[in-house]
Chain A
């Protein structure tokens, strides 16, 4: 590690490798010694590792601000040196990566702490306490990988982190790989993990193509070198290709149309995972990638427009699906896709500050919402357990999954009036909801309005984006209102909901901190002169930005839309609360539209019909007809086997027996015969030997004399 630089400059830039290695150390401690450690010790080690990472991130941010946001690179290790390809593991600390580091490690630490409480109960409900340790090992690994992603100084280093977080996502979605989301034995969770991995693979392929094209054209993968070369000789075709390939990667990782389908299924992972990876951090990697590549996107307007449109379409599309979902986490998942759409639309329009601003606030309030939802689900589980086992005796939980019918603790139709049983969670959830719905003065209001304002100002260059995003914002407020009324108000629709129990402080305290951030997070970048802190901060990296003033028109419209949406949701779900077994009140007026929303517009089925089934048919054809029938039965058995047999027969009978063996036999015969005849010379009579010696001597002497 290069600490010498620290000593020279007096700042903390040399500490940057610790961002990666602190979580790795925590992970190793839990991996090696975790078997003997108690749960609280494991959780503490993981949380402290993550917390120290946050401290390092803070120190780095401080150093940056003290050096006026001047970008620093810290060489760490030589990596790949082959011909023109000169790659080192170099860390890059600039204002953009610093924001990401703070968000990832800050929110990550809170989620680590929360997960101590959550997993403590989750492993007991699922009856496998040994997986407690594994969870924290994966979580720390994720933090390390995310840090590699945001701190890399080249596209390839970013890609390493990109794949690393994808791996952690896969591992954690399939964490309960032998269960389904209802807690029944099944392979469904494992399949969700596979789906996420494969959908991401498609995106990663696009990203790889972008990396290859970049290296082919610019001869480097280091960010600054690429940007300089691109600006010196802008070749629109190549840069469009790079940016669009990159966009495929973004749609995979950040769950945009058309590759978003993995994210709702990813809710199979434990709730802290949904909050950390599938809401706050990993899925924002795509947004980070676009912002990081801003100099490239700035050069090609068409590509930027495609990015913005994909974001806007995703925002609206996912929001409509969220309206028709019943699972509390599924609503949040589609909401996440929708909000990621907002961010992607923003960065597509070049509104990088707004995008990153929304990224940060979204990390706060969506993590809050997910974790609160986790608290609700556990509360329901506790109620369920209480009913099934009398007095909630956790220890005799053995095999109760098999005896009972499935109870879905995450289905909002099973809830109702939970604010009575879980008051703390209720208030926390309200804070997150208001922030997400964009109600003044919560964090979401400021960041979403900034995106909407940018969309409006750029309407002539990016037509349609503002409209799509406004409708999406309306729907956002609507489905969140629907959720609040269904979960916390009305009457308890099941006995379980009546016995739901509040979560312990280890879970609620991190939530309160997140709630504070969700309420006050807007202060990062207030639309008033002198308060564009984030814009100013990011300006060091992505070029000077002029902060937008508050536009009362845009803010007013969006606030009115949000309030209207909440009002409508109250009319539908709050005034006349849903009864047990009653159909959704939207079903009648919307008809087939609601059926579409309820069934995710049949996108999964469509993919199944268009891609997966033909793929399986092709695989079957290839395996049965081509591989087995043609290749194995015909080619191997008939052609190769028969040919080999024929050749072997030919080689053995005429060639081996006829020629080689005959030669050997003849040779042996001749040797035998010659030895027999020569043996006759050795008759044992000394005198005959003497005679032959004499004859020999006479012959030699005769030769010498008469030659």
Chain B
């Protein structure tokens, strides 16, 4: 890892995050949106780890563990929701889930 400047990691992290964000915005499949969210979380993890190693501090890496844990919990809840939605709507197209509106 020595020699690779931290900027590169950050750039990769930004690219991953943008891909994730675009995925959330563009795709209609709830499962894909879900994966895009995971992508954004991991982009953030990458940035945290990169800064942590660059600054020789462990805070960021510890924080990443927490984010992973939360992500795992989120997956459990989110998948359960998707299953539940599918059972009622026979679809996981988020554009069809628009009952809640003003």
Query: Is A33 among interface residues, defined by CB-CB distance under 8 A?
Result: no
Task: Please measure, in the bound complex, the distance between the C-alpha atom of A681 and the C-alpha atom of B102, giving whole angstroms.
Answer: 8
The residue that B102 contacts in the complex, of A682, A686, A687, A694, with Cβ under 8 A, is A682
Task: Please measure, in the bound complex, the distance between the C-alpha atom of A682 and the C-alpha atom of B28, giving whole angstroms.
Answer: 18
Task: Please measure, in the bound complex, the distance between the C-alpha atom of A687 and the C-alpha atom of B94, giving whole angstroms.
Answer: 8
**Cross-chain contact A686 with B101 (CB below 8 angstroms):** no
CB distance from B76 to the nearest CB of A (A): 19
Task: Please measure, in the bound complex, the distance between the C-alpha atom of A686 and the C-alpha atom of B102, giving whole angstroms.
Answer: 13
The residue that B98 contacts in the complex, of A680, A684, A691, with Cβ under 8 A, is A684
**Cross-chain contact B94 with A686 (CB below 8 angstroms):** yes
**Cross-chain contact B98 with A687 (CB below 8 angstroms):** no
Q: A679 with B102: in contact, given A685-B94, A687-B94, A687-B95 (CB under 8 Å)?
A: yes
Task: Please measure, in the bound complex, the distance between the C-alpha atom of A277 and the C-alpha atom of B92, giving whole angstroms.
Answer: 111
Task: Please measure, in the bound complex, the distance between the C-alpha atom of A279 and the C-alpha atom of B94, giving whole angstroms.
Answer: 114
Query: Is A671 among interface residues, defined by CB-CB distance under 8 A?
Result: no
Q: A694 with B25: in contact, given A685-B95, A687-B94, A687-B95 (CB under 8 Å)?
A: yes
The residue that B100 contacts in the complex, of A679, A680, A684, A691, with Cβ under 8 A, is A684
CB distance from B81 to the nearest CB of A (A): 12
Which chain A residues numbered 690 to 705 have a C-beta less than 8 Å away from chain B? Answer: 690-691, 694
Query: Is A237 among interface residues, defined by CB-CB distance under 8 A?
Result: no
**Cross-chain contact A682 with B101 (CB below 8 angstroms):** yes
**Cross-chain contact A694 with B98 (CB below 8 angstroms):** no
Q: A694 with B95: in contact, given A678-B102, A681-B102, A684-B101 (CB under 8 Å)?
A: no
Residues of B within 8 A of A679 (CB): 102
Task: Please measure, in the bound complex, the distance between the C-alpha atom of A681 and the C-alpha atom of B101, giving whole angstroms.
Answer: 8
CB distance from B50 to the nearest CB of A (A): 19
Task: Please measure, in the bound complex, the distance between the C-alpha atom of A527 and the C-alpha atom of B60, giving whole angstroms.
Answer: 132
Task: Please measure, in the bound complex, the distance between the C-alpha atom of A683 and the C-alpha atom of B28, giving whole angstroms.
Answer: 16
**Cross-chain contact B99 with A684 (CB below 8 angstroms):** yes
Residues of A within 8 A of B33 (CB): 686-687
**Cross-chain contact B25 with A687 (CB below 8 angstroms):** yes
Task: Please measure, in the bound complex, the distance between the C-alpha atom of A684 and the C-alpha atom of B98, giving whole angstroms.
Answer: 4
Residues of B within 8 A of A694 (CB): 21, 25
Residues of B within 8 A of A680 (CB): 102
Which chain B residues numbered 6 to 52 have a C-beta less than 8 Å away from chain A? Answer: 21, 24-26, 28, 33
CB distance from A33 to the nearest CB of B (A): 83
Task: Please measure, in the bound complex, the distance between the C-alpha atom of A686 and the C-alpha atom of B36, giving whole angstroms.
Answer: 14
Residues of A in contact, count (CB < 8 Å): 13
**Cross-chain contact B98 with A683 (CB below 8 angstroms):** yes
Residues of A within 8 A of B101 (CB): 682-684
Which chain B residues numbered 44 to 95 have a C-beta less than 8 Å away from chain A? Answer: 94-95
Residues of A within 8 A of B98 (CB): 683-685
Chain A residue nearest to B27 (CB atoms) is A687
Query: Is B4 among interface residues, defined by CB-CB distance under 8 A?
Result: no
CB distance from A354 to the nearest CB of B (A): 110
Task: Please measure, in the bound complex, the distance between the C-alpha atom of A690 and the C-alpha atom of B97, giving whole angstroms.
Answer: 14
| Chain B CB within 10 A, most for which of A683, A686, A691 | A686
CB distance from B99 to the nearest CB of A (A): 6
| Chain B CB within 10 A, most for which of A678, A680, A687, A694 | A687
Chain A residue nearest to B28 (CB atoms) is A687
A 653-679 binary contact with B (CB < 8 Å = 1; else 0): 000000000000000000000000011
Task: Please measure, in the bound complex, the distance between the C-alpha atom of A679 and the C-alpha atom of B98, giving whole angstroms.
Answer: 14
CB distance from A700 to the nearest CB of B (A): 15
Chain B residue nearest to A685 (CB atoms) is B98
**Cross-chain contact B97 with A686 (CB below 8 angstroms):** yes
Residues of B within 8 A of A686 (CB): 33, 94, 97
Residues of A within 8 A of B24 (CB): 687, 690
Task: Please measure, in the bound complex, the distance between the C-alpha atom of A203 and the C-alpha atom of B47, giving whole angstroms.
Answer: 110
Chain A residue nearest to B101 (CB atoms) is A684
Residues of A within 8 A of B26 (CB): 687
Task: Please measure, in the bound complex, the distance between the C-alpha atom of A690 and the C-alpha atom of B22, giving whole angstroms.
Answer: 10
Task: Please measure, in the bound complex, the distance between the C-alpha atom of A683 and the C-alpha atom of B94, giving whole angstroms.
Answer: 12
CB distance from A393 to the nearest CB of B (A): 101
CB distance from A357 to the nearest CB of B (A): 109
**Cross-chain contact A690 with B99 (CB below 8 angstroms):** no
Chain B residue nearest to A679 (CB atoms) is B102
Task: Please measure, in the bound complex, the distance between the C-alpha atom of A261 and the C-alpha atom of B95, giving whole angstroms.
Answer: 109
Residues of B within 8 A of A681 (CB): 102
Task: Please measure, in the bound complex, the distance between the C-alpha atom of A679 and the C-alpha atom of B101, giving whole angstroms.
Answer: 8
CB distance from B43 to the nearest CB of A (A): 14
Residues of B within 8 A of A687 (CB): 24-26, 28, 33, 94-95
Could you tell me which A residues sit within 8 Å of B by CB distance? 678-687, 690-691, 694
Could you tell me which B residues sit within 8 Å of A by CB distance? 21, 24-26, 28, 33, 94-95, 97-102
24 contacts between A and B (CB under 8 A): A680-B102, A681-B102, A682-B100, A682-B101, A682-B102, A683-B98, A683-B101, A683-B102, A684-B98, A684-B99, A684-B100, A685-B94, A685-B95, A685-B98, A686-B94, A686-B97, A687-B24, A687-B25, A687-B26, A687-B28, A687-B33, A687-B94, A690-B25, A691-B25
Other than A685-B94, A687-B33, give 14 A-B pairs with Cβ distance below 8 A.
A681-B102, A683-B102, A684-B98, A684-B101, A685-B95, A686-B33, A686-B97, A687-B24, A687-B25, A687-B28, A687-B94, A690-B24, A690-B25, A694-B21
Which 6 pairs, one residue from A and one from B, show the smallest C-beta to C-beta distance? A684-B101, A679-B102, A684-B98, A682-B102, A686-B94, A682-B101
